[in-house]
Amino acid sequence: MKNILYLLSISIIFLGLNACEPNKDIYDELPNNDSLRLANLDKVPADSEYTLTDDDYELSSNESVANYKNFSESAPVADYLPEIINELFLTDPGAELQVTYNYYQSLYLNDTIADYELDSADYSSSYYNFDNFNGLYLFLNSNYPDAGKGDLITLTYAWYFGGGVTDTVSNTFVNLGDDEWTYAYALESADYTAMGQSYPNFGDEDDAEFRVPIYLQGLNTDYVEYQYAQEGDVVYILYNLYSGGLTQEILKLVKSTSGWDIIGSVTEQTASMTSSSAAWSFVTPIEFVETTATHTREYTLTNADYALVGNGTYYNFDVRPGANEESLDVRIEKISTILKANFADLAIGDIFLVHYDIYDGSADTWDITLEAVEKN
């Protein structure tokens, strides 16, 4: 009996020692298909749509994506979204997935499109000066209707400082898109000196983003008292950056309880993913633009196509004044939807000659040539 108990004890100890061995040794001895099965244990089948969570971003190998929970120009979604999706979902050859994610769009500047000095005819009041920026914004929208986001305009004009004092000043204004303009303070040589710079520029963006918010806490100008700004106030600062060449950059800052914080624009965007048997891949987004180039493909809209975009009653586009498809942009959007639905092999560079039926008081057939380009 003692011998039996002794043997049982030895067996239990032996099994316990084996149980302490790392699982890695066991997994390494499994066949490849078993290793794949183990790797997929935490994954689930993909639905047709998915929105990334904060935890999902932490799966990224990119530190910025993991920390800030968004993609950006420096951390492209095409490069870093697939690795996250491959950690989350099982592959399913031919499957498609629409993924909603956060994208950080940093501010950017284009060239200065105008440097203009106002004359007496440009002032809307009889005083021939401005005492706030709203009047200048109206002037910019009225005189530069084609300006785009990031465009700069320098204006020289009469400014009323109060107390009967008027002087001629020059300032820079930035187009924020959607007919919105803002005054942006351009740092001067004295500002750079006060921030410890040997030259009137910064050597890298991190330095600018560190020093400017601190500097604004004690800065007052003739136009904005940054030192006394209220919580929630938003301002724009232009600065010079030297990195192999001199460029002008812009910062957007908001006043918080602790000081000035740099902010960017984070928006929700959607990307398409497609699965092979091995992995999920990013699908480059495509949009269509009108072109005069020679077409490479040709297509005539069918009744089913019109029905797809809500025109299934009369199977045409109503282009009469005030009608749904009077706008060319609306027609291009609907035709784009139709082409994407009909051509699974659609690729950037494809140029379609499209024939479609219209009604402008009488029935007719119109043509349009559209090129598939990468969507910005």
Sheet with 180-186, edge to edge strand ranges = 112-117, 152-162, 165-177, 180-186, 234-242, 246-256, 259-262
* Percentages of the chain per state (helix, strand, coil), in multiples of 5: 30, 35, 35
Mean pLDDT of 312-327: 93
Which residue's structure tokens are 């498809």? 325
Q: What is the mean pLDDT of residues 372-376?
A: 82
Whether pLDDT at 376 is above 80: no
Res. 16: pLDDT tops 80 = no
Q: Which of 196, 194, 208 is nearest to 242 (CA)?
A: 208
The token pair at 127 is 């005083």
Contact 303, 359 (CB under 8 A): no
* Greater model confidence, 179 or 301: 301
Please state, rounded to an integer, the average pLDDT across all residues of the chain: 87
**Mean predicted confidence (pLDDT) in 33-60:** 82
Residue 353 has pLDDT above 50, yes or no: yes
**Single-letter code of the amino acid located at 142:** S
- Say what the pTM is: 0.50
Place of tokens 């797809």: 308
pLDDT value of position 32:
55
pLDDT higher than threshold 60 for residue 38: no
In this structure, the strands spanning 351-359 and 234-242 are: unpaired
Q: Are 65 and 57 in contact (CB under 8 A)?
A: yes
Instruction: Tokens 């025109």: give the residue.
Output: 311
Q: For residues 134 and 259, what is the distance between their CA atoms, to the nearest angstrom? A: 26
Spatial distance between the Cα atoms of 71 and 63, rounded to a whole number of angstroms:
11
* The token pair that represents 338 in the structure block: 């139709």
Structure-token match 């002794």, residue found: 6
